[in-house]
Structure 1
């Protein structure tokens, strides 16, 4: 018997259903809710709710539980989805227009099927478990749910796991936010090559297991099993579902895509200003200088949010000087305070400090209760008074795991405003960054929020965070792990991620940055970072400014300068890709399976990826010139002019252009690419249209009134160029413009569409210098004056035959 319900035409039936909650189909009693069904099986109360035609929440509690959960990550409320219900023996079938959910009345097993009735994903029979658990004296549960995967299915995600493999099958992970020679930012979201995703919505330490028998999530604390199934049919579709549930990523300011220079700390305002001055003197582009910790003075004054260090006697002068040099300043703030700070005293008075040892051990520093809204407001009130009002441009929200030293099991019992610390620990970075972001939005709409932070949880993309991979060690092994780590992180729906270029701890190298062995690692790392969402040099106890690695003419200096300039040339492409992230739930760093899922060869490739939809990036993550046979990498005398090669797989389904030479290659093959010290393998997908910006010293120095546009033929293609005012929220009011470029390969014609939209200061007319790329004009990173055609564009559509 099939019963349609909740369509617009039967609101009366809906009212009757709500008033008479228990219904019977062929004698089986269950409750129909506004968005699905409720049932009882095997001692559990079960709710199945459609949040959209493609996403379903499954919520299970021990029967007769009165517990109701409000998610910290999911902000969407369920849509009014037209559904139908059908009873087929022991199976209750709930269908939307796009998805079918089968519920077994006897075992409680829930399966998800496509409209053709093919199983996409399924629970295991009797797979739900609630084991009794005592949490700080309270009787609760450890919830567990087991699922079944297909043998050849690949899965990705789980956050920042610091593993060397891309495919997360056959893994067991204890998922708790921590910092230990690299950040572990666990996010219990997976997605599959079958086109679905799963979010396990629990904030306590969780064990993920996948083996030949099952895949399972088991959390230490929870009154419920709560997960969301999302059917996107593709990786982009899954990420769109994740963002629909947990929030969209806002636009970051244009300057955030330029080059950032940092040190473990600059020790004085004089030193900070001198670094900016030196970059401007050298003519090397720079958009942001980062002032790390201890500008506040001793540890007892930790994170006072004031320049109490006597080496910073005139902080406003420093900030103004940096701005006069057309650079921005980002500053370190922590979710903890030293015992001599006013914040510490006020938070202690409201019982909003955690009594466990955090970094640093000195000064009695304590983390604060970010789950307490009053504590978050106190935090931001002090922030505004001490730093925001001085014109700080961005926030380095450090230690948002937070650092947790000693006696963790005991410390998990401490109370927070939302339950025990154990029950919410993994959501700490979400709540810490929430406070800072929302404060910035309330403080001003003229300056977009930008938060660089060390940890993350599901939904954090809505708080303008760019997560970095933690205090990682400077080794080739660690560099190699960063590529699949960043890709798996991005697949959880949080699109902005980066690393410390060259690693944080240089323990393994003699002579620090002057060591040529280290410079090889740094150079390769820098090339890779050019194609992440933030190009940022940082490290502990060393000075990584370009002029400290050599001088012009040295390969280390020249390569770094080359890739900084390439980054700035790509700003129109990167900023337009960022708009796709915000407007269309896209991703900037893309695992190969996202675009080439039918090519099963890419399913386990973790050392290559797409940067946007056009660039195939294959970072060099093995030493080509120096190998260490001892504990320390001694300064070598190798000849770095020798040309080595690296294998690169070109996915099938496309032709590929070598970015440096213009050579065209077929997909579906592994090739050897020559990789001298200044070359990273880069390939452009046929059909790509890539705008290149002018040579500049900072992101907004020149208008984009004279752009080079490269067309890579071989198939049809399109690109949408996005522009706005670069650093305010007027784009949310519709003040922006887009120009669509379309390439017809059969007729060799480029169509530049009408400009859509407008904003203050928009260019009325501009020049496009069009280049049809081939092996005869392989131009690499250098802009060319050998244009195929030069046109003037005034916002009206044009067709150009090339």
Structure 2
């Protein structure tokens, strides 16, 4: 089955249902993965009978992907990356991805969606773990009474670094003060051959070393923790040393991993949603990326330009506790002749 416009052709196989998109010259723009580009599976989500869906397109080695909204990672090109598309405090999700091959895909699904490998990150005990002395079974966890890692309270074996949400936030040993103390985890990891992606989620002061190299040195406010992503190449049978130091100040931390990387998701464009009735997306092509963005705006509506008076300085803070505090801020701006 062939559907055509003056500049774009979509071909659908009557035998397999595979879809390919082609430009006016007949050159392929985007092709569904042969023999398995679509997945629809019955599922139950929050008590509702529904379907999980996945769509995979083939991607040549020189293709790059951009978009997906506003994320806190330091990635520009999302080729080969995994992004969990759900709206939270510091993330603005836009399920639209554009390619340097001059096309874009608007994924029309408002449930939790994953770009890339949909597998979940796992706790550290998915590795073989060894403590600081080389004994198997977990990492060495040292708890200190102070923030300088000098007044040791106790040492114990732990197989997870997991204080990342309210359910597990307060599971510290008795006697440890999360507002004043510090924690150090150390030991070794052993996994399979391949590249693992580590997700180091934290707030307040946190640092991560791998094989003696400091790879994350982070500070974030406690009400807005976020993750740093680190790639780790491993070889079966060989260990990698790991050390984490954290000054909690009643904050959050979690170290999880996914891997080894699957070749499929390094060479494809994959979108997977957990709740759907069907696979639904819009394919947009153009002579350049500006035309692709114009096609997206045609679908979603144009965003009007803000008036000039709204383009100046925006004052923002976590909260104002009293009206007088708010008024004092306004007085200070007026005294300094800064417009609001």
- Shorter-chain TM band: 0.5 to 0.7
Structure with the greater relative contact order (CA < 8 A, sep ≥ 6): 1 or 2?
2
Task: Specify the alignment match of 2:66 in structure 1.
Answer: 156
Task: Specify the alignment match of 1:129 in structure 2.
Answer: 39
Higher helix share: 1
The separation in 1 between residues aligned to 2:314 and 2:49, in whole angstroms, is 49
The separation in 2 between residues aligned to 1:187 and 1:260, in whole angstroms, is 24
Task: Specify the alignment match of 2:11 in structure 1.
Answer: 102
| 1:111 pairs with 2:165 | no
Task: Specify the alignment match of 1:280 in structure 2.
Answer: 334
**What are the within-5 Å matches in structure 2 for residues 430-509 of structure 1?**
none
Match of 1:242 among 270, 277, 296: 296
| Cα distance per residue 1:93-121 (max 9 Å; x no partner) | 22111111111121211111110111111
The separation in 2 between residues aligned to 1:218 and 1:119, in whole angstroms, is 23
Match of 1:204 among 111, 123, 127: 111
Please state how far the C-alpha of 1:213 moved relative to its aligned partner. 4.2
* Residue pair 2:56, 2:270 contacting (<8 A) in 1 also: yes
Task: Specify the alignment match of 1:417 in structure 2.
Answer: none
| Cα distance per residue 1:519-544 (max 9 Å; x no partner) | xxxxxxxxxxxxxxxxxxxxxxxxxx
SS of the equivalent of 2:317 reads coil
TM-score, structure 2 length as denominator?
A: 0.53
Task: Specify the alignment match of 1:740 in structure 2.
Answer: none
Please state how far the C-alpha of 1:201 moved relative to its aligned partner. 0.8
| 1:185 pairs with 2:92 | yes
**What are the within-5 Å matches in structure 2 for residues 216-231 of structure 1?**
216-231=270-285
The separation in 1 between residues aligned to 2:61 and 2:285, in whole angstroms, is 19
When Rg is computed on C-alpha atoms for both structures, the one with the higher figure is 1
Task: Specify the alignment match of 1:268 in structure 2.
Answer: 322
Task: Specify the alignment match of 1:251 in structure 2.
Answer: 305
The separation in 2 between residues aligned to 1:98 and 1:237, in whole angstroms, is 12
Task: Specify the alignment match of 1:316 in structure 2.
Answer: none
TM-score, structure 1 length as denominator?
A: 0.23
* Residue pair 2:114, 2:272 contacting (<8 A) in 1 also: yes
Residues matched between the structures, number: 192
The verdict on how the C-alpha distance between 1:270 and 1:158 changes in structure 2, with shifts beyond 3 A counting, is same
SS of the equivalent of 2:91 reads strand
The separation in 2 between residues aligned to 1:216 and 1:147, in whole angstroms, is 6
The verdict on how the C-alpha distance between 1:254 and 1:230 changes in structure 2, with shifts beyond 3 A counting, is same
Please state how far the C-alpha of 1:221 moved relative to its aligned partner. 1.1
Task: Specify the alignment match of 2:228 in structure 1.
Answer: none
| Cα distance per residue 1:15-40 (max 9 Å; x no partner) | xxxxxxxxxxxxxxxxxxxxxxxxxx
The separation in 2 between residues aligned to 1:120 and 1:199, in whole angstroms, is 15
SS of the equivalent of 1:273 reads helix
Higher strand share: 2
* Residue pair 1:260, 1:286 contacting (<8 A) in 2 also: no
Please state how far the C-alpha of 1:161 moved relative to its aligned partner. 2.3
* Residue pair 2:61, 2:267 contacting (<8 A) in 1 also: no
Task: Specify the alignment match of 1:195 in structure 2.
Answer: 102
Task: Specify the alignment match of 1:140 in structure 2.
Answer: 50
SS of the equivalent of 2:60 reads coil
**What are the within-5 Å matches in structure 2 for residues 504-523 of structure 1?**
none
| Cα distance per residue 1:348-400 (max 9 Å; x no partner) | xxxxxxxxxxxxxxxxxxxxxxxxxxxxxxxxxxxxxxxxxxxxxxxxxxxxx
| Cα distance per residue 1:321-360 (max 9 Å; x no partner) | xxxxxxxxxxxxxxxxxxxxxxxxxxxxxxxxxxxxxxxx
SS of the equivalent of 2:331 reads helix
The separation in 1 between residues aligned to 2:92 and 2:329, in whole angstroms, is 32
* Residue pair 2:66, 2:98 contacting (<8 A) in 1 also: yes
Please state how far the C-alpha of 1:272 moved relative to its aligned partner. 2.5
The separation in 2 between residues aligned to 1:214 and 1:188, in whole angstroms, is 17
Question: Which ranges in structure 2 are unaligned for 5 or more consecutive residues?
Answer: 118-264
**What are the within-5 Å matches in structure 2 for residues 681-720 of structure 1?**
none
Please state how far the C-alpha of 1:216 moved relative to its aligned partner. 1.2
Please state how far the C-alpha of 1:249 moved relative to its aligned partner. 0.5
* Residue pair 2:116, 2:270 contacting (<8 A) in 1 also: yes
